[in-house]
Amino acid sequence: MRNLLLLFSLITFTSFVNSYEDPTKYKDIDPKYISVEVNDPEQKVGYTVGDLIERKIKVSIFKPFILIEESLPIVGYEKRYRGDLLGMSLMNSGYKKKVTKEKSVYEIDLMYQIFTNKRFAKPAAITADYYRVMDPSKPDEIFKLRVPSFTFAVSPIAIFGAVKVENDMSDYRGPFLINTDKETKIQIGSTIIFILGLLVLSYIYSRYTWWPSKNKIFSQIYRKYRKTESSKENLEGFLKALHHGFDNTLGQTVFIDNVNLLYQKNESFKNIENEINDFFKLSRSVFFGKTLKINQANAYNWLKGFSLHCRLCERGLIVDKNDFKRFDTTK
């Protein structure tokens, strides 16, 4: 048991020593063999505990050198300066590799999280990283390339000294405005849909329009005779057209005796039952009642209103009770 504890302590000590390996002991690689591009956040001040910092690094290494991928940062690594923790922990690390005949390109994504804070603002930094490269033909010769550090300020309070907020202001300072573009688009789209819905419903349920290719028998009759003048020929033609409309609706000839079949076919006609009875009386008086004198103008105007009600009924719409008008053939 004692030996196991000794072995464990030795392994821990070795890892501790290796974690502080001085990268400067390697020679710098000739700049002509590398290209380093770093994309750091624009925000330089106002960070606090828990904030995330993303760095995007693009490293190009020209032949014959290659990158020792084991030297890339690993998740959980905590930044240190002269052995002291800086409060910067690497939370996520990943890279994409692209190899060509001339070079190897690495696109590295790093995400650090801040675990330090003070009562006052203080300068902080993600220290420089050192990646190792080598020539496969000379494995004993290892070189290093340097990724620049990123300096920022923890806490948004200005201090005197190294950090001067007024000289390091970014677009992120000041009030943060909520971006309402998405909500605005939703509101505009909803308003357009609402207006179109109202127009469609108004068209469908309006008493002065008809739905194309559906229930338009009495619509055509109403549109044909609503602007015509009263005359004997027009009155007879109007009556015949309405009879023909009822026949087409039921699919057979409609008389006063079998009008209940019409109500069974379309219950909406039941609402104007009294008007339908007056219509058959008027028709009988015009075509068969030779001794009766009927005011053609009044009869013709009444038929226009009656045809409109038939038009509404064939579409299943409600007829306003105030529009109901009885026609007395005795007058």
Q: What is the pLDDT of residues 248-268, one digit of tens each?
A: 888 888 888 888 888 888 888
The reported pLDDT for the residue numbered 196 is 92
Prediction pTM value: 0.41
Residues 6 or more apart whose CB falls under 8 angstroms from that of 116 comprise 49, 86, 87, 88, 124, 154
**Whole-number Å distance between alpha carbons of 221 and 150:** 83
The reported pLDDT for the residue numbered 105 is 92
Q: Is the pLDDT of residue 186 over 50?
A: yes
The reported pLDDT for the residue numbered 192 is 94
- Residues 73, 76, 80: CA angle, nearest 5 degrees: 70
Are the CB atoms for 328 and 298 separated by under 8 Å? no
**Whole-number Å distance between alpha carbons of 126 and 81:** 10
pLDDT: is 115 or 193 the higher one? 193
Residue with tokens 């052995």: 83
**Whole-number Å distance between alpha carbons of 54 and 77:** 15
The reported pLDDT for the residue numbered 292 is 60
Q: Where are the domains of the chain?
A: 23-156, 179-209, 217-323
pLDDT: is 155 or 63 the higher one? 63
Are the CB atoms for 318 and 269 separated by under 8 Å? no
Mean pLDDT of the chain: 78
pLDDT digits (tens, 9 = 90+) for 71-101: 888 887 777 666 667 677 888 888 899 998 8
Q: Is the pLDDT of residue 302 over 80?
A: yes
The reported pLDDT for the residue numbered 256 is 83
Which of 7-11, 46-50, 252-256, 323-327 shows the lowest per-residue confidence on average (mean pLDDT)?
A: 7-11
pLDDT: is 13 or 212 the higher one? 212
Q: Is the pLDDT of residue 51 over 70?
A: yes
Integer CA distances (angstroms), 265 to 64, 251, 261, 270, 272, in order: 90, 10, 6, 10, 14
The reported pLDDT for the residue numbered 20 is 45
Number of residues that this document lists for the chain: 331
The reported pLDDT for the residue numbered 16 is 41
3-class SS of residue 279:
helix
Task: State both tokens at 186.
Answer: 């939703």
Residues 6 or more apart whose CB falls under 8 angstroms from that of 257 comprise none
Beta strands (DSSP E) in the chain are 27-28, 34-39, 52-62, 66-67, 78-81, 84-99, 103-114, 122-126, 129-135, 138-147, 150-154
**Whole-number Å distance between alpha carbons of 25 and 42:** 33
Which of 4-18, 32-46, 219-233, 280-294 shows the lowest per-residue confidence on average (mean pLDDT)?
A: 4-18
324 pLDDT band, cuts 50/70/90, is low
Task: State both tokens at 183.
Answer: 């909500």
DSSP 72: S
pLDDT digits (tens, 9 = 90+) for 259-295: 888 888 888 888 888 888 888 888 888 888 765 677 8
**Whole-number Å distance between alpha carbons of 260 and 245:** 16
The reported pLDDT for the residue numbered 172 is 54
Are the CB atoms for 309 and 319 separated by under 8 Å? yes
Sign of the dihedral defined by the CA atoms of residues 175, 181, 183, 184, in that order? positive
3-class SS of residue 76:
coil
Domain at 23-156: CATH code: 2.60.40
What percent of the chain lies above the pLDDT cut of 70? Answer: 73
Look at strands 129-135 and 66-67 and give their pairing.
antiparallel
Are the CB atoms for 103 and 63 separated by under 8 Å? yes
Task: State both tokens at 306.
Answer: 């009656």
How many Å is the Cα radius of gyration of the chain? 45
The reported pLDDT for the residue numbered 157 is 46
Look at strands 27-28 and 138-147 and give their pairing.
parallel
Q: Is the pLDDT of residue 121 over 80?
A: no
Q: Is the pLDDT of residue 164 over 80?
A: no
Name the residue among 71, 94, 37, 78 with its Cα closest to residue 143.
71
Average pLDDT over residues 159-172: 51
**Whole-number Å distance between alpha carbons of 308 and 303:** 8
